[in-house]
Amino acid sequence: MQNILLVAIGGAIGSVFRYILTASIPHQIAKVYLFGTLSVNLIGSLLIGLFWGIFEHQIGNNSLRILLIVGILGGFTTFSSFSLEMVNLLKQAEYRNAILYVLATNIFGIGLAILGYWISIKFSTTQV
Q: Which residues contact residue 102 at a Cβ distance below 8 angstroms, ignoring those fewer than 6 apart? A: 86
Mean pLDDT for all residues in the chain: 87
Which residue in 58, 66, 63, 74 sits closest to 120, CA to CA? Answer: 58
Q: Mean pLDDT over residues 97-121, rounded?
A: 93
Contact predicate 42/112, CB 8 Å: yes
CA distance 73 to 14: 6
In degrees, rounded to 5, the angle at the alpha carbon of residue 70 between the alpha carbons of residues 16 and 99 is: 75
Nearest residue to 109 via CA among 76, 63, 61:
76
The answer on pLDDT for 66 being more than 50 is: yes
Element (H, E) at 115: helix 109-126
Task: Please give the Cα distance from 125 to 118 (Å, whole number).
Answer: 11
For the segment 13-35, what is each residue's pLDDT rounded down to a tens digit?
A: 999 999 998 888 877 676 666 77
Q: What's the pLDDT at 128?
A: 45
With a threshold of 0.95, does the pTM exceed it? no
Task: Determine the average pLDDT of the residues in 9-15.
Answer: 95
Q: Please give the average per-residue pLDDT across 89-94, as a whole number.
A: 93
